[in-house]
Amino acid sequence: MTKAKRKRLIYNLVTFGLVIVAFIILENMISAKAISRSLKGQLVPICAWIIMAVSLNLVIGFSGELSLGHAGFMSIGAYTGAVVSGWLLSAFDMQDPLLRLVLAILAGGILAGIFGVLIGIPVLRLRGDYLAIVTLAFGEIIRNLVNVLYIGTANGKLHFAFLNKEKLPAGVTMLVDGAKGAVKIKPISTFEVGFVLILITLIVVLNLVNSRAGRAIQATRDNRIAAESMGVSVTKYKMMAFVTAAVLAGMAGALYGLNSSTVVPTQFTFNQSINVLVFVVLGGLGNVLGSIISATFLTILPEVLREFADYRMLVYAVVLILVMIFTNNPTTRAFVNRLASPAKKLVRKNRGETAGGGDVK
C-alpha cells in the first residue's frame, strides 16, 4: 500500500468513524432521554445541512467551480418531497411513513438531478465568476417559479397550475400553495434516515473523488488546459460533479422539507446558498470531514448562543470571524500541529515506522 493510499484510507475511516460514533452516541442519548428538546429538534436539519455542505464541496472543492445556487436544488427536493409524500398518502393511502419518506427522497433527488443536467449544459461552458453569477440567477429563478406554483391533489390525481390558482379544479387539497409554500406536510423525516443519507452521501462522494473520474475532476480544477491536453473532457467531468451534487442536494432538500409541516420559498434564498458556502469554506475546500464538522458546528452555534439574547447574531458573526482566522492562520496552524505531533509520533512508533503516513487531516 502506498503512502498516499494509506493516508486516504485513514482519512476515510476517520470520516465514517466519526459520523457513526456520533450517531451511536446520539441514539443512546435519545433512548436514555438524556437529550434536550432543542438538540433533538435540530438533528434532522443538521443531517440535511451536512449533506448540503458535502455535496457543495464536491462542486467547489473538487471540481473548483463556484456555485451559488445550491439552495435552488434543495428547494426542488423539498417541494418534490412534500408533493410526492402528500400524493402517495392521498392517492394510494400509503400509511407507512418510512416508505413514503424513502420514495419522496428518491423523487427529490431525481428531479433535482434532472434540473442539474438542464442547468449544467449551458452553465458549465462558463468559467469562474460567470458560472457563479449564472448559478446564483438559477437559484433565484427556481425560488420565483415556486412562488407562483400551485399543486393540488384530488381523487388520486395531481393538478398543476401556474400563476393562477383558479385554474385548479374545485375541491382539490392543496399541496403547494404559491407564496404560502408547501402546506400541511405530514412531518415524517427521522434522524435514522438522515444518518443513512449521510452515509450514502459519504460513500458516493469519497468514492467518486478517489476514483479515476474523481482524479479527472480534480485535474480540471488544478489546470484546465493541462487536463484538456491530456484528453480529459472538462465539461463531462465538471457535469458529473455538478449533477451528483444536485442529486444529493435534492435528497437533502426532501429530508429537510419533510421534517416540517410547511416549506416556504423564502427559506431557499441566495442567503441560504451563501450559508452552505460558509460551511464549505470554514470546513476547508476539498475537505469532506471539515464540511461535516463545520455544518454541524454552525447549525448548532446560533442555538447555543440563545443565552446572549439580543446580542446573539452579533456574537455568532464574531465567533465565525474568529474561527475563520484561527483555522486559516499559519501561526495557529503550526501551533496545533506542534500540539498534535507527539501523538502522531506515538502512532508511528507503534507502527514501527520512522516517518510519514498517518497524517490525519
Partner 1 sequence: MKKLIALALALVLALTVCSAFAEEPITLKIAHIGPLTGPAALYGIATSRGAQIAVDEINAAGGKYKIELIDEDDEHNVEKVINAYNAALDAGAQMILGSTTSKPCEAAGAQGYTDRVFFLTPSASSTAVIEDKDNVFQVCFTDPNQGAASAEYIAEHKLGTKIAVIYNNADVYSTGIRDTFVEKAPGLGLEIVSEETFTDETTDFTVQVGKAQEAGAEIVFLPMYYTPASLILKTAADKNYKPIFFGVDGMDGILSVEGFDTSLAEGVMLLTPFVATSEDAKVANFVKLYEDKFGETPIQFAADAYDGIYILVAAAEKAGITADTTPEEACDLLIAAMKEIQVDGITGSMTWDESGAVTKTPMAATIENGVYVFK
Contact residues toward partner 1 (CB under 8 A) are 36-38, 40-42, 45, 178-181, 183-184, 187, 256, 260-264, 267, 302-303, 306, 309-310, 312-313
Looking at the Cβ atoms of 224 and 312, the one nearer to partner 1 is 312
Looking at the Cβ atoms of 302 and 357, the one nearer to partner 1 is 302
Looking at the Cβ atoms of 41 and 128, the one nearer to partner 1 is 41
* Amino acid symbol at 231: G
Question: C-alpha cell of 246?
Answer: 444536485
Task: Say whether 159 sits in a helix, a strand or coil.
Answer: strand
Least CB distance from residue 59 to partner 1, whole Å? Answer: 23
Question: C-alpha cell of 339?
Answer: 500540539
Give CA separation, 227 vs 224, 240, 242, in Å: 5, 16, 18
Looking at the Cβ atoms of 62 and 191, the one nearer to partner 1 is 191
Contact 48, 194 (CB under 8 A): yes
Residue 314 burial (CB count, 10 A): 11
Least CB distance from residue 289 to partner 1, whole Å? Answer: 25
Q: How far is CA 182 from the centre of its chain?
A: 21
Q: Identify the CA nearest to 138 among candidates 74, 49, 85.
A: 74
Least CB distance from residue 260 to partner 1, whole Å? Answer: 6
Least CB distance from residue 177 to partner 1, whole Å? Answer: 8
Q: Tell me how far apart the alpha carbons of residues 247 and 258 are, in angstroms, rounded to a whole number.
A: 17
Least CB distance from residue 132 to partner 1, whole Å? Answer: 25
Looking at the Cβ atoms of 165 and 348, the one nearer to partner 1 is 165
Cell 416540517 found at:
260
